[in-house]
Amino acid sequence: AQKITQTQPGMFVQEKEAVTLDCTYDTSDPSYGLFWYKQPSSGEMIFLIYQGSYDQQNATEGRYSLNFQKARKSANLVISASQLGDSAMYFCAMRGYNNAGNMLTFGGGTRLMVKP
């Protein structure tokens, strides 16, 4: 079984500053994937970034990067140069590669609010 914990229910960041959203996980699977999704107020779930447990380098996608610390079981999302449009809920999720159904397990989310 997998478990994802996001300890920050809400965060503020000043526009143009960087922000880190925390995510810790627990799993018994030796191989797994970690994902971040963004959910704006309109409700859709938008894929942001992926990190495989055996990837040697931290994932980056534009202004998003993932600070992956395997020994600490953390996969924090870093957003650089925050924009007003970054205001949304952010969900960390994981999938173990031993389960046939590919189910994602989600954390409770962090609401990010970007201040102008």
Partner 1 sequence: EPEVTQTPSHQVTQMGQEVILRCVPISNHLYFYWYRQILGQKVEFLVSFYNNEISEKSEIFDDQFSVERPDGSNFTLKIRSTKLEDSAMYFCASSVRQGKNIQYFGAGTRLSVL
Per CB under 8 A, residues contacting partner 1 are 33, 35, 37, 42-47, 50, 52, 91, 93, 95, 99-109
Q: How far is the CB of 116 from partner 1 (least distance, A)?
A: 26
Q: In this complex, which beta carbon is closest to partner 1, that of residue 39 or of residue 74?
A: 39
Bridge-based pairing of strands 110-115 and 10-14 is parallel
Q: How far is the CB of 34 from partner 1 (least distance, A)?
A: 11
Spatial contact of 97 and 31, defined as CB atoms under 8 Å apart: yes
Q: In this complex, which beta carbon is closest to partner 1, that of residue 52 or of residue 80?
A: 52
Q: In this complex, which beta carbon is closest to partner 1, that of residue 13 or of residue 89?
A: 89
Q: How far is the CB of 44 from partner 1 (least distance, A)?
A: 4
Q: In this complex, which beta carbon is closest to partner 1, that of residue 43 or of residue 116?
A: 43
Q: For residue 65, which of 49, 81, 53, 52 has the smallest C-alpha distance?
A: 49
Give the Cα separation of 22 and 2 in Å (integer). 17
Give the 3-state DSSP-derived string for 35-66, with helices as H, strands as E and coil as C.
EEEEECCCCCCEEEEEEECCCCCCCEECCEEE
